[in-house]
Chain A
Amino acid sequence: MTVTPTPLDVGAGTVLTLQGISKRFGAVQALKNIELDVRAGEVLALVGDNGAGKSTLVKTIAGVYTADDGSMVFDGRPVRVGSPAEAQQLGIATVFQDLALCDNLDVVANLYLGRELRRNGTLDEVEMERQSWELLRQLSAKIPSVRIPVASLSGGQRQTVAIARSLLGRPKVVMLDEPTAALGVAQTAEVLNLVERLRERGLAVILISHNMADVMAVADRVAVLRLGRNNGVFVVSETRTQDIIAAITGATDNAVSERAARRSREEGPAS
């Protein structure tokens, strides 16, 4: 099977398109001519080795960094994202790996941080709490109480709170940075379920992950970054894991594919 990146079609349903995004840090070219498109109702996995530029790309889309070159098209019109707040206003929500929760505040306060509901100028705690429960129920989230400090929640629950918070701004694109890192088996499954629920809601989900099993389980397409450049976009249903790994490592003769090839050779004549 040959590794053929699917062509970039900026067709119907495309929510976010990146064209020629480049970013330098001093002498380091972190991103070079990145092309990417995400469609509504799909999970696009963004994979790559350490230092491939995944986090830089996510931060560029989220407005934490500004790109040195290139353009972004969101919802059919070219946009410039100068700050995280601008990205949020556009409808690009990001859940960073460190979750960015305030441990001293309770779940409701964290969910509505920066966009608190108000009535007569004061916080409308009752309405926020009611809607928090509604949202958490929709996501089938298991949070015992929304009035306890986030510090007392488990890793999966914290991830759930962070993802739920990203949905409150009614985004069109949700970016999840390593949502299953450091989670147990059951909690990983819960988060993956959550990702599927986001897709069912018609959101475009960009999922960054090192875990190929998670990627193959939930993603529709996989975009590979290698050394700050595009290294192929794969449709998961038509691709084998080793092809993606080959694209990540930049070699078809890596340890994983070698092993797979050897096994298929050994099995080949027998069958």
Chain B
Amino acid sequence: MSLQGSGTRPQDISGTTATPEENGAAQLPADLQDERLIARQGISGAVGAFTSRLRSGDLGSVPVVVGLVIIWAVFQVANSSFLSSRNLVNLTLQTTSVGVIALGIVLVLLLGEIDLSVGSVSGVAAAVVGVTFVNEGWPIVLSLVAAIALGVLIGLFYGLLYTRFGVPSFVITLAGLLGFLGLQLLVLGKEGTINLPYDSALVGFATRSFLSPAMAYALVALVVVAYALSRWQGRTARAAAGLSAAPTSVIAIKAAGLAIMLLIPVVVLNGDRGVSSMFLLFLALVVVTDLAVRRTRWGRSVFAVGGNVEAARRAGINVRMIYLTVFAACTTFAAVGGILAAARLVAVSQASGGTDVNLNAIASAVIGGTSLFGGRGSAYSALLGALVITSISNGLALLSLDSNVRYIVTAVVLLIAVTIDSLSRRSRQAHGRA
């Protein structure tokens, strides 16, 4: 079945076949009139389309979800407190900073580029907040703005180097990795560690701010209703334009699925402290990034540049602007992630953003299903990938295993993810979905 969906069938050149109108196909929506098309309608059609997409190698986020389930099951068997409400709330707190940084990595990966310096950038942003807020006594808002602005500037600097001089992003950001680590040490000065005041709004937001259960449930309801409404609106618009539209039953099932998918975690998290405001911020950033990437002209241009730079340039897309904005967005997310990490740990040190922050963020994006080859990926891969990475370190910490094991396990998972990416890419090419 799956093969028939691709364009490998011979062209109909006989000229003797009846036109769609004569076939009585005029009643069909405009996009379902070709006789070679396997019409997929209704619920079974939606399921069939999904399985045929999987078989052709268009895996999307399926491998990471399967991987996450396996990882959680293994840790739950090894230590029954892994899936407890308390630990899962911790997990959401730990996921946030890596996830926010990974969100930026997703964007650069969509262009087929890389940013190796996100760890150092996150560290230097945290250092700026620490020094200006604690040592210099700036208002917190001003400190945050300064740190985030630094993140934006660093990305613009990368983008300028890349677009004006054509230096490979790998090298630019490798230099950034060292350079901004140096800047971080310089900003922190001799003491090396700055403790953030525990009663400050920033630390409170990152450690003690949770949604009340009622708020969380209301939010779930709001999201599900908004989803169903936008789907319904899309359906109506498509029907009005004479295109095929998903049947109401499929929309209802998808909305119900979303409701269940959101309700279960909320119920579990509410068993302890609840849904963290910081985690909610991360989710909001994921949703906004996803919409920006899929629904705006900018996002479409990002995919186009990642798929074929020359085609994008000839289509009149301002390719330089795309590189500039994406590099800037990446380092901005890195700065925000660094600030959140510092706020959660209530301190900025020379180790902030060091060692594995960088690689965890990059690994998260890749494990989540964003292709290293550019032009393919989703903002949600940052969320899923970060959950996988954090689950591994969280679970191994529960088992009192040292970081040596954690590194090895993370490496294996990363390797599996990249292998799946390469294999599915080959399969997509074979099935004409590259």
Contacts and interface: CB of A to CB of B under 8 A. Distances in A.
Interface of A: 84-85, 88, 94, 96, 98-105, 109, 113-116, 118, 121-123, 126-127, 129-130, 133, 142-149, 151-154, 156-157, 186-187
B376 A104 contact: yes
A99 B307 CA distance: 14
Contact of A113 (B8, B37, B295, B311): B311
B257 interface: no
B296 A122 contact: yes
A144 B308 CA distance: 23
Interface string B21-38: 000000000110010110
Given A114-B312, A152-B7, A186-B13, 15 more contacts: A84-B314, A85-B316, A100-B314, A102-B303, A102-B311, A102-B375, A113-B317, A126-B238, A126-B243, A130-B243, A149-B432, A151-B429, A152-B6, A153-B432, A156-B11
Given A121-B296, A143-B34, A113 B315 contact: yes
B300 A133 contact: no
B37 A144 contact: yes
A46 B243 CA distance: 41
Nearest to B35: A144
A100 B300 contact: no
B11 A129 contact: no
Interface in B378-434: 428-429, 431-434
Contacts of B295: 122-123
A125 to B, nearest CB: 8
B243 A129 contact: yes
B315 A105 contact: no
A134 B306 CA distance: 29
Contact of A126 (B11, B34, B237, B314): B237
A102 B31 contact: no
B311 A100 contact: yes
Contact of B433 (A126, A149, A154, A187): A149
B317 A114 contact: yes
A142 B291 CA distance: 32
Nearest to A122: B295
Given A102-B304, A104-B375, A122-B296, A130 B241 contact: yes
Nearest to A189: B13
B297 interface: yes
Contacts of B208: none
Interface string B276-310: 00000000000000010001110011011011101
A84 B308 contact: no
Interface range for B: 35 or more
5 contacts: A115-B315, A145-B31, A151-B432, A151-B433, A151-B434
B300 A152 contact: no
A142 B308 CA distance: 24
A44 B303 CA distance: 36
B42 interface: no
A104 B291 CA distance: 18
Contacts of B238: 126, 129
A115 to B, nearest CB: 7
Interface of B: 6-8, 11-13, 30-31, 34, 36-37, 234, 237-238, 241-243, 291, 295-297, 300-301, 303-304, 306-308, 310-317, 375-376, 428-429, 431-434
B11 A104 contact: no
B317 A157 contact: no
A145 B34 contact: yes
A192 to B, nearest CB: 14
A156 B10 CA distance: 11
Contacts of A152: 6-8, 431-433
Contacts of B429: 151
A139 B429 CA distance: 28
A144 to B, nearest CB: 4
Given A142-B12, A143-B34, A157-B7, A84 B316 contact: yes
Nearest to A186: B13
A114 B242 CA distance: 25
A114 B6 contact: no
B241 A101 contact: no
Nearest to B431: A152
Contacts of A96: 314
Contacts of A151: 428-429, 432-434
A99 B311 CA distance: 8
The listed residue with most A CB atoms (<10 A of its CB), out of B6, B37, B310, B315, is B315
B243 A145 contact: no
A88 to B, nearest CB: 6
A123 B241 CA distance: 15
Contacts of B433: 148-149, 151-152
B130 to A, nearest CB: 38
A162 B60 CA distance: 28
Given A130-B241, A149-B433, A104 B303 contact: yes
Contact of B11 (A122, A142, A145): A142
Nearest to A113: B315
Contacts of A157: 7, 11
